Amino acid sequence: MRAWAVVETGKPLQELEMPTPEPTGAQVLLEVTHAGVCHSDLHIWEGEYDLGSRGKMRLTDRGVVLPLAMGHEIVGRVVKLGPDAANQGSKVGDLRVVYPWVGCGKCATCQRDEENMCLTPRSLGVYQNGGYATHVLATHVKHLIDIEGVDPALAATYACSGVTVYSAINKLMPLDPNEAIVLVGAGGLGLNAIAILKALGHRNIVVVDVDEKKLAAAKEQGATQTVLASKEGTAQRIVEAAGGPAAGVIDLVNGTETARFAFDALRKGGKLVQVGLFGGEMNIPLPLMPIRALTIQGSYVGNVKELRALIDIAKQGKIPGIPVETQPQNQADAVLNRLKNGQITGRVVLVGAAA
């Protein structure tokens, strides 16, 4: 197979010939038709996460091995089934979105279909080759989800951007539809979060970003109010836009500055759900945690049950589409650089020859 792979962190992706994997057991080989380019790919490409005063966490510390074909938002066409994958809902020629956040497949967590919480992760595009390639190996047929009736380029974004915000939203619910939910970040995650909240019937959505163009896109997507973030006064502007301190904030950026104003915008009993990997650290006044009964919770992507539920909602036509631009697979490096430079609104999806 051909892959556009990270060979050296921070350096341009290289086009490589790699062995095409052979499916065994319940594995399935797919020819990649669509692969979304996600902001977390930048961290893998750059090779590290910013831990603030604790320094950097290297990807090698997490067990990432190069060369690596990134890409975890994958739609592909089934080309070969392992011997144990037959008659389990997918056949050769089927178009499927691939759940990428897989684990060992054997522990109790994996058996509950909560593989994103497995202690020995094997995520596609992170620990094994993903969608920046002509072919990808799904580790189990149960990770393939039918997307009939959904635009495959949009469906690809649901494997990370969509399921990540869906899982984060679920951590805030139930909330009254008129209670403000604040989204920090108006990129691909933020726009999908607006779309999914609207699909779930939520009516009060406040979006925060540093980019006026992205805020305009958020307003077009259906945000109730938008807030331009700056060095000073952002928390107060969020409170004003939300009609009071917020019951729930989802920080899709999760950097030092955003964590501070997100925390400061919470009401008594409020919850901050941290999703993004921008990096840094958070300093909070500890007495306020019990005095105001606040909750801070991390949210790591989502499980396959949540992806199935999200695709079911999409099939019903309830989720408004987000802006999706398509580019050929061989433009992966150029797209990554555009993303790094803040030049993308919505999502860019790489399209393979099999599309």
Q: What is the pLDDT of residue 49?
A: 86
> Where do we find the tokens 């163009």?
213
As a whole number of angstroms, the distance between CA 249 and CA 142 comes to 33
The predicted model scores a pTM of 0.95
Tokens of 52: 């603030």
Question: Does residue 130 sit in the same domain as residue 272?
Answer: no
Question: Does residue 310 sit in the same domain as residue 287?
Answer: no
Of 216, 222, 190, 184, give the one whose Cα is nearest residue 203.
222
H-run or E-run covering 15: strand 14-17
Phi, psi dihedrals of residue 128, rounded to the nearest 5°: -145, 160
Name residue 281's amino acid: E
- Number of structural domains found in the chain: 2
As a whole number of angstroms, the distance between CA 151 and CA 73 comes to 14
Question: Does residue 240 sit in the same domain as residue 265?
Answer: yes
Q: Residue 310's domain is classified under what CATH number? A: 3.90.180.10
Tokens of 208: 């925060």
Q: What is the pLDDT of residue 129?
A: 98
Helices (H) and strands (E) in the chain, counts: 11, 17
Question: Does residue 279 sit in the same domain as residue 314?
Answer: no
Question: Does residue 19 sit in the same domain as residue 153?
Answer: yes
In a domain, 152, yes or no: yes
Q: What is the pLDDT of residue 63?
A: 87
Classify residue 110 by burial, with Cβ atoms within 10 Å: 0-12, 13-18, 19+.
buried
Which of 279, 298, 317 represents a domain boundary (last residue)?
298
Which of 272, 298, 324 represents a domain boundary (last residue)?
298
**Stretches in the chain below the pLDDT threshold 50:** none
Q: Which domain holds residue 329?
A: 2-160+302-351
In a domain, 167, yes or no: no
Question: Does residue 193 sit in the same domain as residue 130?
Answer: no
Cβ atoms of 268 and 244 closer than 8 Å: no
Q: Residue 242's domain is classified under what CATH number? A: 3.40.50.720
As a whole number of angstroms, the distance between CA 353 and CA 234 comes to 45
Which of 280, 298, 316 represents a domain boundary (last residue)?
298
Question: Does residue 245 sit in the same domain as residue 310?
Answer: no
**What's the DSSP call for residue 111?**
H
In a domain, 306, yes or no: yes
Please give, one letter per residue, the 3-state secondary structure of 246-295: EEEEEECCCEHHHHHHHHHCEEEEEEEEECCCCECCCCCCCCHHHHCCCE
Question: Does residue 284 sit in the same domain as residue 313?
Answer: no
In a domain, 58, yes or no: yes
Question: Does residue 15 sit in the same domain as residue 145?
Answer: yes
CA 289 to chain centre: 28
Question: Does residue 294 sit in the same domain as residue 313?
Answer: no
Of 242, 259, 149, give the one whose Cα is nearest residue 204.
242
Question: Does residue 217 sit in the same domain as residue 318?
Answer: no
